[in-house]
Amino acid sequence: MTFDTIIKGGTIVTAADAFMADIGIRNGRIAAIGEALEGAGTVIDATGRLVMPGGIDSHVHIAQPGAPEVVMAEDFTSGTIAAAFGGNTTVMPFCLQQRGQSLREALKAYHAEAEGRCHVDVSFHLILTDPTPGVLGQELPALVEEGYTSLKVFMTYDDMVLKDRELLEVMAAARRTGAFVMVHAEGYDTIRFLADALEAEGKTAPYYHGPSRPVAVEREATHRAISFAEITDVPIMIVHVSNRQAMEEIERARRRGLNIYGETCPQYLVLTEEDMDGAAMEGAKFVCSPPPRTTEDQAACWEGLQHGIFSVFSSDHCPYRFAEDGKLTAKAHDGFRWVPNGIPGIETRLPILFSEGVKKGRISLNQFVALTATNHAKTYGLYPKKGTIAVGADADIVLWDPEMTRTIDQADLHHGCDYTPYQGLEVTGWPVMTMLRGRVVTDGETLVNEAPGGEYLARERSPLVEGRQAL
């Protein structure tokens, strides 16, 4: 046999092209792309399907430690199964350094969570909360060499916020080591100032999460982060951008020649601040940071996707159950500031972008692939092994039914959360088969292989850091 598997009769879509051809897979990699390939033990009929690179979700939270009374509603088993059913073949969660902890300790514990549980490939970003001279001078350079080539910093949250000086030190260390920096851009002091004022007026319902972190909070922090990146001469990714003003900061910086990149997420395309205004605690189901904004900001996020201001579209999957160990802790009833920030989305990211984007004529099929797979691989040092359909690439492939219409329903999802903020949203286009390194992981509603076949991926430095590539 020439191939282990042939995918026959589908339309292959990459970030650049769409064409009809067969794919021959051997030893987990794409060995041939051609017309009428023959000679395989297994032939998969892809007639009427789009054949695309498996989704890469470069921003997810899985089994991340947090406040003692709160449990993240996802471990690596459920998270990666949900990812596969959602058409993804690689996910990139965050390994959180808790204050006082070394990066190596954090990584040891986080690898133990993932080991033997992953149904898709995984690779970790670091979250730096305690950037001591030892962390920046010794640990980080060694870890970057070992393939931990990206890190996230926070400009807010009591247990994660970095002072401006620390942000600068981290960026300077990234410059020296070649790490790629992701920034959560919301200002700590402004949020506390506004939250205190709202609480003093008795405005404690989940809805007030939004007013405690208005657009100006995000815009100011985005501007500050960009300024620090300019001063330290590093490219950065502003993650989970929610609104026009923050997007315009990125756009302006890029026009000035700075290598500033942007990410947006499904919640900023289809949710609004009104969703946090539900009866009782219902609004807590939509509390995430930055918060969903207005329909005008949704339109701005679409423009950012269309014009390349946002190069990656990620889920920011960060699930907490609508229960006492999640969104509804005793403290959460006292006020919005205690509601854990984050919503699930690992399984619904691709259908939402396809349906709202491709089907509604806002983005092309090629942009869809770039935004959901190729640009993630390019940004985070996985390309061309991941993120495209090409000879030599891993056979990470999703077969997509572009005509299937479904209503998103919690009962059909596989994630560990007990609700979806997208309940009832009708989408057209759905992943019908996900294949990881040539092995079928999901086929329709079936998890084909119960044995987890995902691997940990050490990554190259981002080519964006080395100025080898622009997005």
Binding site for ligand DUC (CB under 6 A): 61, 184, 239-240, 288-289, 316, 318, 341-342
CB 15 within 8 A of CB 370: yes
- Nearer Cβ to ligand DUC, position 184 or 386? 184
Q: Angle 244-255/295-306 helices, nearest 10 degrees?
A: 30
- Nearer Cβ to ligand DUC, position 60 or 399? 60
User: From ligand DUC, Zn ion, none, which one binds at residue 341 (CB under 5 to 8 Å depending on kind)?
Assistant: ligand DUC
Tokens coding 206: 């989940």
| Shortest reach from residue 353's CB to ligand DUC, in Å | 18
**Binding site residues, Zn ion, CB under 5 A:** 184, 316
How many C-beta atoms lie closer than 10 Å to residue 461's C-beta?
19
- Nearer Cβ to Zn ion, position 96 or 270? 96
- Give the separation between CA 53 and CA 398, rounded to whole angstroms: 6
| Shortest reach from residue 274's CB to ligand DUC, in Å | 20
| Shortest reach from residue 239's CB to Zn ion, in Å | 6
Max Cα-Cα span within the chain: 73
- Nearer Cβ to ligand DUC, position 67 or 231? 67
| Shortest reach from residue 214's CB to ligand DUC, in Å | 16
Across 29-55, b (16+ Cβ under 10 Å) vs e yields: bbbbbeeebeebeebbebeebbbbbbb
- Give the separation between CA 6 and CA 26, rounded to whole angstroms: 9
| Shortest reach from residue 200's CB to Zn ion, in Å | 27
Tokens coding 65: 């430690």
Torsion of CA 206, 207, 208, 212, to 10 degrees: 100
Amino acid symbol at 56? I
Burial environment of residue 204 by CB neighbours within 10 A (0 to 12, 13 to 18, 19 or more): middle
CA distances from 224 to 153, 262, 328 (A): 13, 15, 34
- Nearer Cβ to ligand DUC, position 24 or 344? 344
| Shortest reach from residue 350's CB to Zn ion, in Å | 18
- Nearer Cβ to Zn ion, position 152 or 385? 152
- Nearer Cβ to Zn ion, position 184 or 385? 184
| Shortest reach from residue 448's CB to ligand DUC, in Å | 31
